Amino acid sequence: MGNIFGILNTGRQAIHVQRSGMSVTGTNIANVNTPGYTRQRAVIEPLTGGGVGLVGVERLRDEFLTARMLLSNGRLGERLARVGALQQLESAFEESDQAGLSRSLQDFFGALQNLSIKPEGTSEREAFLARARQMISGLDGLSGQIDQIRGQLDQQVRQQVERANTITREIAAINQQLGGNGGRIETSQTPGLNQLQDQRDKLIQELSIIVPVRVLTDEHGSVTVMTGSTSLVEGQRVQPLELVPDPASDGMLRVVVQELGRPRDMAASLNEGSLGALLRARDHEAREMKGQVDRLAAGLARDFNLVHRAGTGLDGVSGRDLFSGLQASATAAFGNRGDAGVTSAAIVDPSALNWDDYEIRFTGPSSYDIYNASTRTTVSTGNAWTSGVPIVLAGMSVVLEQGAAAPAAGDAFHVNGYAGMSQRIALDPAVASNPRALAAGQSGAAGDNRNALALLSLRDRPTMGTPPSQTFEGFFTNARVSLATRAEAAGSALHSEDVAQQQLAAMHESVSGVSLDEEATNIIQYQRSFEAASRLVRVTDEMLQTVLNMI
Amino acid sequence: MRVTQNTMFNQLSRQLQGNTARLIQAQERMATQKRINRLSDNPIDGGRVIDLKGAVARSDQYLNNIERLTSVAGVYDTASGQLHDLLARSKELLVKESNEVTSTAATREATRIELSILSNQLVSIANTQFDGKYVFGGYRTDQPPFAEAAATLGGAALADGTLHGSARVLDATAMNYHAHEIRFTAADRFDIIDTDTGQPVSTNQPYQSGQPIRFGGIELTVANGAGAPTAGMTLQLTSTPAGAYQGDSQLQEIEIQPGSRVPLNIPGDRIFQGVGRPGGIDLFALMNTIDTALREGDTTAIQAQLDRLDQAREQVSSERAGVGTRVNLLEQVKSRQTDIKSNLEILRSNIEDIDIAEALTELSKSQNAYEASLSAGSRIVQSSLLDFLR
């Protein structure tokens, strides 16, 4: 203390510290627009025995705020992806006054009206068939569009999973590079520490948009990234998301992780984030809309066939179908453990058909329950199962046969009478090639319009929906409105999340963002301190000179 | 709270974005003149618009049906009017023959011929076609509902193919609808016998294969088949008067409003044969009875038919009145349906269409907001402490 060289040393330290401060300010200014950059500050402390020392450079951030941002990112990512997907879906259902499936349905019934007025007219018959074809191509076109959207969503799922895996690998790599120094202040011994941590934070932020994440930091500054109960990154170890095609869902990809050698479906854990939104849009909304279009096609085919069969064509033949393509569908659920497979599924009684989703659920190797997933009711329980013996439900007959292993309890088969109908429906060949075969009457007389009237009355018959309560046109409008309602709700959810995110971003910016005004002030501050320290050195030098002159 | 330049920039860009979005929406509404441009703009109202448009389209269809029914009703009105006139004319002619003093065999035959021309007209009215279909056939609209007078030739020689032969009607007014027999007396000679009366019509006619034989308004063509006629071989000729009904009694019903159907047609058996009407009259049978009465000069019978002609006219009139009632009903339904349609249109427009004044105000408001935020932004981003540190 009081040593002149000591003072000189203090001055030297001060100059060094102020220069470092200036350098940090420079870094801040240089990175004012760098995404993910966290404002830094030189950490200075007085040294025992006088003078000043640079401890290191710290990042200014708020852990609590960061955690909230992660949550908000997940929600925002979910809303954004959902809105995008639903808008795309809605645009497939958009119709003008002149074109669209609603219009085709209207025209179809209109042509039927005209046929009922002039059942003997060849041109009326031709016109009705033409309208029916138009309606069929409308159904087919619409479900084709939905398939295309589902395909695109599937593609996006793949891309997002790949991106998420790249991110988790990078996070693990940074965990390794940090080598136990994470969370500390960057010092001369650990250059680049802040940059690495910024980079890791940025990656986690990006990941949080795709999947919901929870971040745990251990005492070494290594992070564990959790999604639900799965750790995607744990130190340097990465649990990659995998993609498995699901035959029960048109070969669409499921996102799974390997757990104890078995794939575990992640869908339930992805409640937030864009990946979950894409999966839900693909497997719920888009699939449901496809299902509704299929149901409409199946409903039209069944009801028109039942009435048409009762009528007689101009050629005196009755019992013909109007539409072809009705078929039962049975698929094994994803993740069945036994290896029973579907041998056949057929419609045995069209009049007993409905458009609910049924499940055959095995409760043991030789017993099953039948469950109606649309009404969420159990149809029957404790049925005995023998391989190859048809199971009859709701007008359908399903044959399941076991392979090497018996079905396990919990195995399920999805059964319904409509899947894919919108792409199969066609005019019955006998009617398509011969308008006279159209059964407008019940007696075969040319002017008999009773069956045309009976067909026409189907327009107002509530045969669609669960329970049947909607007409064909009403059912389709309802489907459209329910999709639009969801799109609207998703839009407003996005809007409110956007506002929340905006506030969080402003708060984050207020903690971690670079203010040019502040840095300008810092420049002056450090400059003046630097000048003062320099003056100190000069004065000390003069003092020393004075002492030397004494000799 | 610490505010940085980026906070300001972010906020500014968000505000600009929001204002642009509102401006675009206002412009879209102006351009399409619609408040709802996609269903998700307002799903509840949008759904109602779809329903309303569907209802309007159905109204159009009903109006179309009514139009069609009205024009068909016109056909029935015309036909029954003609029928009415025909019966009036028949009575006029017959009245003259009901008086024993003035009626002679010659006048009766003249009247009979004139009446049988009217009978022919009766058939052609009964077989009226409209838009390619027979209107009096019930459901059987693809064939004439009432048969013309017909003659058929039969016999063992035709059945076994020894001879070929056919008969056709040349002149219905000359026919008496009796059964006849052609009797071959030799390989080249035949007699014609009226089997109803037992009297020969002509005897010892020369037969030449394929040569037409004409008598009593009928033409026969007989030709050698596997063999030739032999003595004792007979052919039978039967004939039926016009008016056998080949249609059915069915009503073609058409929907004119939800849950309400009206018949499009009048089955021929009802108006021409009085089926389903107490004391209904078969107009064709009546004309035949008159024909026979005139042929036989039976004045009492002729007088009796006068009343029946009146009843027949009443039968036709009542059907015609039915057509009138139906047209009135159609008019009522049409005007109601037109009202419904325009109400639906108004309702739809109220929901879907923009109020132009409001939309214009909205557009200029959002334009102002956009410009204001632009100019405010340009001032904010200019200043920084660095500007003042020189």
* Banded model confidence at residue B198, pLDDT cuts 50, 70, 90: confident
| Cβ atoms of residues B243 and B116 within 8 Å | no
Please report, for chain A, how many H helices and E strands are present, in that order.
12, 19
Chain B residues closer than 8 Å to A517 by CB? 5, 384-385
Q: Which of B39, B134, B262 to mutate to test the interface with A (most CBs of A within 10 A)?
A: B39
| Alpha-carbon gap: A217 to the closest alpha carbon of chain B (Å) | 28
Chain A residues closer than 8 Å to B57 by CB? 106, 110
| Alpha-carbon gap: A236 to the closest alpha carbon of chain B (Å) | 35
| Alpha-carbon gap: A487 to the closest alpha carbon of chain B (Å) | 6
- Residue type at B237? L
Chain A residues closer than 8 Å to B261 by CB? 453
Angle at B253 between CA B250 and CA B254, to 5 degrees: 160
Cβ-defined contact of A90 to B40 (cutoff 8 Å): yes
Nearest to B129 by CA among B116, B146, B115: B146
Q: Which of A34, A115, A120, A510 to mutate to test the interface with B (most CBs of B within 10 A)?
A: A120
The DSSP call for residue A178 is H
Chain A residues closer than 8 Å to B42 by CB? 488
Chain B residues closer than 8 Å to A86 by CB? 40
Chain A residues closer than 8 Å to B65 by CB? 113, 117
Q: Which of B5, B40, B250 shows the shortest C-beta gap to A487?
A: B40
Contacts of A194 (CB under 8 A, 6+ apart): A38, A40, A57, A58, A59, A186
Nearest to B212 by CA among B242, B243, B167: B167
Contacts of A511 (CB under 8 A, 6+ apart): A39, A60, A61, A62, A65, B2
**Angle, in degrees to the nearest 10, between helices B43-97 and B105-126:** 170
Residue in this structure with the two tokens 């398509």, named with its chain if needed: A432
Q: Which of A87, A484, A515 shows the shortest C-beta gap to B4?
A: A515
Q: In whole angstroms, how far apart are CA A483 and each of A272, A288, A491, B304, B336?
A: 20, 10, 12, 78, 35
How far is A335 from A265, CA to CA, in rounded Å?
Answer: 9
Per-residue pLDDT of B351-363, as tens digits, reads: 888 888 888 898 8
Complex ipTM value? 0.79
Q: What is the reported pLDDT for B381?
A: 67
Chain B residues closer than 8 Å to A474 by CB? 51
Q: A with B: how many residue pairs have Cβ under 8 Å apart? A: 159
Neighbour tally for B344: CB within 10 Å: 19
Per-residue pLDDT of B292-316, as tens digits, reads: 888 888 888 888 888 888 889 989 9
How far is B91 from B82, CA to CA, in rounded Å?
Answer: 14
Q: Which of B1, B53, B139 shows the shortest C-beta gap to A447?
A: B139
Mean pLDDT of B233-258: 85
Does residue B251 have a pLDDT over 60? yes
Q: Which of B46, B138, B264 shows the shortest C-beta gap to A484?
A: B46
Residue B102, chain A, CB below 8 Å: the answer is: no
Residue B366, chain A, CB below 8 Å: the answer is: no
Beta strands in A424-521 (DSSP E): 426-427
Cβ-defined contact of B3 to A448 (cutoff 8 Å): no
Cβ-defined contact of A106 to B57 (cutoff 8 Å): yes
| Cβ atoms of residues A27 and A186 within 8 Å | no
Cα radius of gyration (chain B): 41
Residue B1, chain A, CB below 8 Å: the answer is: yes
User: Torsion angle, CA of B144/B147/B150/B152, rounded to 10 degrees?
Assistant: 80
SS (H, E, C) A103-138: HHHHHHHHHHHHHHHCCCCHHHHHHHHHHHHHHHHH
Residues 191-250 of chain B with CB under 8 A from chain A are: 248, 250
Long-range contacts of B120-123 (CB under 8 A, 24+ apart): B120/B172, B120/B173, B120/B242, B121/B82, B121/B86, B122/B83, B122/B86, B122/B242, B122/B243, B122/B272, B122/B283, B122/B284, B122/B287, B123/B148, B123/B242, B123/B243, B123/B284
| Cβ atoms of residues A139 and A425 within 8 Å | yes
Mean pLDDT of B363-371: 89
Nearest to A11 by CA among A544, A538, A546: A538
User: Torsion angle, CA of B289/B290/B292/B294, rounded to 10 degrees?
Assistant: 160
Per-residue pLDDT of B148-170, as tens digits, reads: 888 888 888 788 888 888 888 88
Q: What is the reported pLDDT for A165?
A: 93
Cβ-defined contact of A445 to B39 (cutoff 8 Å): no
| Alpha-carbon gap: B281 to the closest alpha carbon of chain A (Å) | 25
Show the DSSP H helices in A408-465 as ranges: 421-424, 429-432, 450-456
Cβ-defined contact of A113 to B255 (cutoff 8 Å): yes
The DSSP call for residue B176 is -
- The chain B residue lying nearest A115, using CA atoms, is B254
Residue B118, chain A, CB below 8 Å: the answer is: no
Cβ-defined contact of B3 to A515 (cutoff 8 Å): yes
Structure tokens at B14: 């968000």
How far is A444 from A318, CA to CA, in rounded Å?
Answer: 8
pLDDT tens, residue order, chain A (551 aa): 468 888 888 888 899 899 889 999 999 989 888 888 889 988 888 888 778 888 888 888 888 888 898 999 999 999 999 999 999 998 888 887 777 888 888 889 989 988 888 888 888 899 999 999 999 999 999 999 999 999 999 999 999 999 999 999 999 999 888 877 766 777 777 778 888 888 998 999 999 999 999 998 888 778 899 988 888 998 888 999 999 888 777 888 999 988 888 888 888 888 899 999 999 999 889 989 999 999 999 999 999 999 999 988 888 888 888 998 888 888 888 878 877 888 888 888 888 888 888 988 888 888 889 999 888 888 888 888 888 888 888 889 888 888 777 888 888 888 888 888 999 999 998 888 888 888 888 887 888 888 988 898 898 888 888 788 889 988 999 899 999 999 999 999 998 888 888 888 888 888 888 888 888 888 899 999 999 999 999 998 898 899 899 88
How far is A196 from A202, CA to CA, in rounded Å?
Answer: 10
How far is A426 from A435, CA to CA, in rounded Å?
Answer: 15
Across-strand partners of A400?
A342
Q: Which of B7, B261, B384 shows the shortest C-beta gap to A509?
A: B7
- The chain A residue lying nearest B259, using CA atoms, is A457
Q: Which of B65, B136, B139 to mutate to test the interface with A (most CBs of A within 10 A)?
A: B139
Residue B221, classed as helix, strand or coil, is strand
Residue A548, classed as helix, strand or coil, is helix
Cβ-defined contact of A477 to B1 (cutoff 8 Å): no
Residue A35, preceding bond cis, omega within 30 degrees?
no
Cβ-defined contact of B4 to A516 (cutoff 8 Å): yes
Strand pairing class (B253-257; B260-263): antiparallel
Residue in this structure with the two tokens 């009343």, named with its chain if needed: B307
- The chain A residue lying nearest B40, using CA atoms, is A484
Highest mean pLDDT among A313-317, B59-63, B194-198: B59-63
How far is B82 from A206, CA to CA, in rounded Å?
Answer: 89
- The chain A residue lying nearest B130, using CA atoms, is A118
Q: What percent of chain B has pLDDT over 70?
A: 99
Q: Which of B10, B38, B255 shows the shortest C-beta gap to A94?
A: B38
Chain B residues closer than 8 Å to A119 by CB? 252
How far is B187 from B206, CA to CA, in rounded Å?
Answer: 9
Nearest to A28 by CA among A521, A373, A449, A531: A521
Does residue B385 have a pLDDT over 80? no
| Alpha-carbon gap: B212 to the closest alpha carbon of chain A (Å) | 37
Chain A residues closer than 8 Å to B10 by CB? 502, 505-506, 509
Cβ-defined contact of A113 to B65 (cutoff 8 Å): yes
The DSSP call for residue A514 is P
Q: In angstroms, how far is the first alpha carbon of chain A from the final one?
A: 23
Q: What is the reported pLDDT for A2?
A: 66
Neighbour tally for B183: CB within 10 Å: 17
